[in-house]
Amino acid sequence: MKKLLHLSPLLIIAVIYIPSLTFRLFSHDQTYNPVERSTLFLLSSIWLTGCQAAWLWTVGVNLSKKLKPGYDRDLMLLKASLFIPFAYVTMPIVALLSTLTGVVIPFLTFGFYSTLHTIALFCFIYPIYFVASYLTTIEYGKPIKFVEYVSTLLAIVLFPIGVFFVQPRIKKVVNSSSTRYVKD
């Protein structure tokens, strides 16, 4: 996974979006029945979410190694917040397969799914915040305020475009010989 940190931004975009766009292209083909088209669309969403989560996971874990032990945040929250959106995206597949087989899954109710949706929204934002604040903290070499990393945060939110600005900065930080950046 550490190889994701050394890829060019164009290659990252290609790896993430070409398979997803291929799935979506076939999901609109009328020769497939609606269930197959829905499954292809959901598979493209799983691929897209999984690849972006893998990139954020790799960047977050490797950037946390560059900070002093007293400064780093809990990586468990980062890992959990990357898993929950992935589970959230796979829930429609479980619901679709359960309706096709006639099996009723009691926890797939509207209340459960709307609660999971709210939690997933937070979990989509937290890894982006984590990576943006860590990257900027390491570059500045001191604890930072929100104003100092808001541009990095927006670049990661606008992933297909922002990766061209963020990935070279990540490469520079990861390739540097120093291991601990934040000064007391």
pLDDT reported for residue 155: 92
Is residue 94 very low, low, confident or very high in pLDDT (cuts 50, 70, 90)? confident
Asked if residue 180 belongs to a domain, the reply is: no
Extract the tokens encoding 20: 């997803």
- pLDDT band of residue 152 (cuts 50, 70, 90) is very high
Tell me the pLDDT band of 150, cut-offs 50, 70 and 90.
very high
Instruction: Report the domain count for the chain.
Output: 1
Domain residues for the domain of 38 are: 2-175
Arithmetic mean of pLDDT, 143-152: 90
CB 58 within 8 A of CB 167: no
Q: Has residue 99 been placed in a domain?
A: yes
Output 160 or 41, whichever has higher pLDDT. Answer: 160
